[in-house]
Structure 1
Amino acid sequence: MLPMVKSNSPKFKEYQVKDITLNVAMGPFGSRITKDNFVSEGVPVIKGQNLSDGRFNDEEFSYLTEEKADDLSSSNAFPDDLVFTHRGTLGQVGILPAKFERYVVSQSQMKLTCDPEKVDPMFFYYYFCSKGKDDLLKHESGSGVPAISSPSTTLKNLTVEIPSLAYQKKVASILSAFDDLIETNTRRIEILEEMARRIYREWFVHFRYPGYQDDEFVDSGTDEFDAVPEGWDLKIMDEILEHYIGGTWGQEEPEGEENNPAYVIRGTDIPGGRSGNVDDIPLRFHKQSYINSRKLQHGDIVFEVSGGSKDQPVGRAMLITDTFLSELDCDDVVHASFCKLLRSDKSILKPEILYLHIREIYDDRRIMKYQVQSTGITNFKFTFFAENKQMFIPPMELQEKFQEKVSPLFKQMYILGKQINRLKETRDLLLPKLISGKIDVEELYQLGNQNNVD
């Protein structure tokens, strides 16, 4: 049982945000940042995608020159600043790491600098993941693109209730411990997937698989390789795939024949799903016949066929495993309309090899040849892909050796993903109670120390 607050627990006091912070500022207005300003390295620009996963997602930045960042000095942000989305996907908040000396917030964000003598930045970040977020969202405007009304003024005038600085730091350290473990497990997952991908490249791109020295190599007859092992068949995707089908979206609530629940994996769920993250996968209602032909099973691949952008080609993919499916509390899981289910004929090609091949051609951008731009969205020419994309098929004995080598890596990735989900659940249970003082932090510390001694 969690220790509840006693009469000697710290008093919480009310403040306005402007009284405990040094600065609240908006991102640049209008066209002060355009695509023409972006360079390959420099000062990173914070966008909504950087605030979408944990304390901060420090990947996929766009960059500005130092000179351009100086020109936007009022929109510069620094380590330990909080960043909020005020237009678009509301509710997003992040705390800036010390990876860079400074950042620039984009047009849809605003930043807050804490007064370190009055409020701990990490505590304030967690505050705005809980009660503070709810209070801020009460000021959402009523029409058009979701937005906070008069965002910087609203944030400055927001009333918050916080404990002493020392108590804040203890709360922040408890919650940070969960996020530290989550980030450690996430890095371990990335390492495991990179190990699987390196083995794939070593065996099936560089052809340095076990026993390759004893094989004869012949002209490949393709642009992809100069020479390939003799006897490896060349097949098109249409021959490799046993089943493929577009997705379904269904209804938010049961309606008519669409009354059967199933989780729906979207393209946007693919990056997190590879790490076992099931937090945002929606449960919707479908016709049973749609579920029957699309129900995902171990070894299937969810493949994105519409969406993308200039910097993110369409064609992201995710390998489905039993471990991943077990995390969703519903027997049926399907894929969304902008995705396809790919199921390999396992007597021809093991799914792990097909998945890693798709990841390889995505990362080196060979997949771009199967894309077409239409009405502002990128679509995948799947029929052309199925009829023209070729793969050299290794002997089944070699495939089975590869599968034995990489399957434990994928299993461990999803086990770590399950651990991440449990850590998130516990953190999210504690978060509002710690922030509001409903759980006694001092007793939690004592319990932690006793467990360490034991």
Structure 2
Amino acid sequence: MQDINPIDNFVYSYSDEIFDGQGGAKFSNGQILFARITPCLENRKIAQVKLGEGGTGFGSTEFFVFDEKEEVSDINYLLYLLKTDYVINHAIGSMVGASGRQRADWQYFKNIKIPLPPLHLQRQIAAVLGRYDSLLENYQVQIATLQALAHEVYREWFVRGRGLGVIVGVEKELPVGWRKGKLREVLDFYIGGGWGQDEPDDAHTVGGHVVRGTDIPNLKKGQVNLDVYRYHKASNMASRELRAGDIVFEVSGGSTDQGLGRNVLITDEALAKFGDKVMPASFCKLIRADQVKISPYYLQQLLDHLLETQEMAQFEVQSTGISNFQFEDFIDYQPVIIPAMEAMNRFDKLVGPMYKKIGILSTQMATLRATRDALLPRLLSGQLAVEALETAEI
């Protein structure tokens, strides 16, 4: 379920595992996964599988799996249809079961009446909307390339030591101006996040968005989640309001295949998209670098490297079924290299524009999604003739 991103129409993330025959939805390339359980359904976890030619897979038992019916329906048209408010709201209305574990009822769901134009028109509608998704995929690739490039520059310069013409490593002699240290000495400030409450009252007067651990992967791509807006005490917001250059670091939660330590650098572009105050959630921490001693870009890439190499995994502990990160021990005992500021400034000049470009691309993607989603109900209802758009430029 965690591999489905509600804002994407396709599944881009998956792992290779052996199916043991013990349950789980089975599917083939091109079929559609539809989350049937709360809150995943309300969060619109619906996506088409892209596994390559002949690809097969399996996943959560909480998926409905949809396919086209020969000479009746087109799978790409069905994808857009299933993501409409009309279908989703009917599915939510069909939910049965205990509170917090409710699921859409298949017997009700399969009898929902849907608009089904002739097959050729379904394909035309899907083709028009698919042009937007093709462009969105192209932007996704550009963003992923920029992220990978920024991290490769970090590894080349500060792990392998080739880009700067120096040899680096915790156990090796360092260049002049570089030193071995601990994270605590380069942090200006850090604090746990907050959660506030749904509605304002006399104590909770300041509204603001909240960044959760689950929001971090999208936020790294410049995509902000505006759905989590809560009310906080003024003092809590004052000490936790995110600024450009801050890092949100996940310290609680996790899963068997997702360790703690996911993090994201907050940029001016991201703050502009939030358009209001924003703080980390209570399962996260705000980390603020001492920019006289360390670059925020370098610090964020360092944290990603420690997560990627599982060096920070030693600071995770299990408690009552949930993982918690020993943050104080981490910043006291994790050895790190602190390069000379001149080296970090050179790094900033190279990777800073990459972060900015990611923000620009994500803004363009948001505009494309909004346009596509505005067209969707008009095309499906016949209010807008598909012929009027087939030759239009995006």
Q: TM-score range by the shorter chain?
A: over 0.9
Query: Paired residue for 2:146?
Result: 192
Query: Paired residue for 2:157?
Result: 203
**Which consecutive segments of 4 or more residues in structure 1 shift more than 4 A?**
none
Query: Paired residue for 2:209?
Result: 263
Amino acid at match of 1:409: M
User: What is the DSSP-based 3-state SS (H/G/I as helix, E as strand, rest coil) of the residue aligned with 2:313?
Assistant: helix
Length-normalised TM-score, structure 2: 0.92
Query: Paired residue for 2:317?
Result: 372
Mark the structure with the bigger radius of gyration.
1
Change (3 A) 1:399 1:51: closer
Distance in 1, Cα, partners of 2:384 & 2:266: 39
> Is 1:140 matched up with 2:90?
no
Do the aligned partners of 1:269 and 1:280 also contact (CA within 8 Å) in 2? no
Change (3 A) 1:394 1:64: same
Alignment deviations for residues 409-432 of structure 1 (CA, whole Å, 9 cap, x no partner): 111111111111111111222222
Distance in 1, Cα, partners of 2:59 & 2:335: 44
The alpha-carbon deviation at position 62 of structure 1 amounts to 5.3
Distance in 2, Cα, partners of 1:421 & 1:439: 22
Alignment deviations for residues 366-415 of structure 1 (CA, whole Å, 9 cap, x no partner): 01011111111111101111222232211111111111111011111111
User: What is the DSSP-based 3-state SS (H/G/I as helix, E as strand, rest coil) of the residue aligned with 1:116?
Assistant: coil
Amino acid at match of 1:314: L
Distance in 1, Cα, partners of 2:3 & 2:172: 40
The alpha-carbon deviation at position 166 of structure 1 amounts to 1.4
> Is 1:418 matched up with 2:363?
yes
Query: Paired residue for 1:300?
Result: 246
Amino acid at match of 1:95: Q
Distance in 1, Cα, partners of 2:14 & 2:261: 17
Match runs of 1:39-188 below 5 Å: 47=1, 49-50=3-4, 52-61=6-15, 63-65=17-19, 68=20, 76-88=26-38, 89-90=40-41, 91-99=44-52, 101-130=55-84, 131-141=86-96, 143-148=98-103, 150-151=105-106, 153-188=107-142
Q: How many residue pairs get matched? A: 389
Alignment deviations for residues 255-304 of structure 1 (CA, whole Å, 9 cap, x no partner): 22212111111101000001111145511111121111111111111101
The alpha-carbon deviation at position 437 of structure 1 amounts to 1.8
Unaligned runs of 5+ in 2: none
User: What is the DSSP-based 3-state SS (H/G/I as helix, E as strand, rest coil) of the residue aligned with 1:399?
Assistant: helix
Change (3 A) 1:203 1:175: same
Length-normalised TM-score, structure 1: 0.81
Distance in 1, Cα, partners of 2:227 & 2:262: 16
Change (3 A) 1:75 1:403: closer
Amino acid at match of 1:78: S
> Is 1:358 matched up with 2:303?
yes
Query: Paired residue for 1:339?
Result: 284
Which stretch shows the higher mean deviation, 412-421 or 355-364? 412-421
Give aligned-pair identity as a percent.
Answer: 32
> Is 1:322 matched up with 2:277?
no
Among 214, 220, 225, the alignment partner of 1:274 is 220
The alpha-carbon deviation at position 75 of structure 1 amounts to 5.1
Do the aligned partners of 1:372 and 1:379 also contact (CA within 8 Å) in 2? yes
Distance in 1, Cα, partners of 2:12 & 2:349: 34
